[in-house]
Amino acid sequence: MVNSATRIAIIGGGMGGLTAAIALTRIAGVQVTVFEQAGKLGEVGAGVTVAPNAQRVLDRLGVLDQIKRAGATPDGHGVYQDARGNVVTDAAWEDSARQYRNIGMYRPDLIAVLAQEVDPDTIRLGHRLSSIQTSDAGVRVEFENGAREDFDAVIGADGIHSVVRKAVSQFPEPVYSGYIVYRGVVDASLLPDEWPMISQVWMGDHRHFMCYPLQQRKLFNFVAGVPSDRPLAGDWSGPAEVSELAAEFAGEDWDPRLHRFISAIEKTFWWGLFDHEPLTNWSRGPITLLGDAAHTMLPHQGQGVNQAIEDSMALATFLAAADDVSDIPEAFRRYTSVRMQRTAILQHGSRRAGAMFDAQYEFADLQKRDADLRVGRDFRRSAVFDYDALKVAEKALQNSRRNQFA
């Protein structure tokens, strides 16, 4: 069996990498080292939704209560509404059993909660990966600061511009979607007292705006998607003027309540939205991928971080079942075969959700868009939120053992 003598490097100290460190330590019992290129752990000051499917994983890892204390649970279902604020349908942000309901988390808070669950001696900051090589003895990782170290296996949780991904295969670079998002947070005290503590989405002409509460309702997250060619001219993210965001949603076509929210924004940043077609493979020998490195997806279903958390549980489950270090490549192969179909569906679903929010393609027919949103509400609950990453991995292991002895 793999055990505490088994050494695994995790490249990337973001939300996926830290969750993987917790899962591999607590479920597979291996020794992990997390390498993060930044000088300190942290995330940009914006929000993320911890969805029911990820909460199920975090609950089993023993960290859900800490996340609940740091986050914000909404008062009820969110709403999708048109540009003027007319409700199209509610959004069922809970699983079918109503055991888990979406939690809005300030990204720095989520990083802090996860980091507290990882032995600080296993986290190496200021390590930007430069190369990765396999040999009969395992995997050697080298960093720009001159450090080098050998491990039994490597997990690439290093995001959309993954260096580890290049060691798996030569995949096409992520493709720009034609959209950017403005993101940031608003002090809840700057909003009217009656502002609803739920998720709200306004959908207009080729753009949309979303907000929801964070940090025990002290903050509100916002995400505003608009068409732009800005990333094609240089950087893929950067600071932005609030005035340019406000101009995208100005005029009588937009709900005065939305104008009121935007007037409370003091600072914002922009990000280009990129994704790629589902990869044909995530693993090569003792190297595998996790999170955005494996399945970059658009943010329109709020599943990017949540899928990385699911990955972590599945990966730890397959590693725990490995007989010894020599079986790690097979454990990685089983992990990818289970996870690739799930994430591919959500990659395509996220594109489709964005097209609905922004009235693109066939959804320019608003009646069709609204009907699809209403139908999709219950499907989202059953297909996305009810998913149990542990049970799916355990079932796959049982099936492989049956086939082995058939």
Annotated catalytic sites, by residue? Answer: 212
* Cβ atoms of residues 28 and 314 within 8 Å: no
* Cβ atoms of residues 286 and 322 within 8 Å: no
Residue type, 378: D
CA distance 185 to 222: 6
* Cβ atoms of residues 35 and 129 within 8 Å: yes
Q: Which two tokens stand for residue 137?
A: 């003895």
CA distance 7 to 324: 12
Residue 347, C-beta contacts closer than 8 angstroms, at least 6 positions apart: 275, 277, 278, 295, 296, 297, 298
- H or E element: which one contains 272? strand 268-275
CA distance 300 to 305: 12
Q: In a 3-state reduction of DSSP, which class is residue 5?
A: coil
Tokens 């290049």 -> residue: 166
Quick one: which of 210, 400, 172 has its CA closest to 299?
210
Residue 40, C-beta contacts closer than 8 angstroms, at least 6 positions apart: 125
Q: Partners of 225 in the beta sheet?
A: 181, 208
Q: Which two tokens stand for residue 234?
A: 């240089």
End-to-end CA distance of the chain: 23
Quick one: which of 336, 377, 135, 105 has its CA closest to 217?
105
Q: Which two tokens stand for residue 223?
A: 């995400």
- H or E element: which one contains 106? strand 103-106
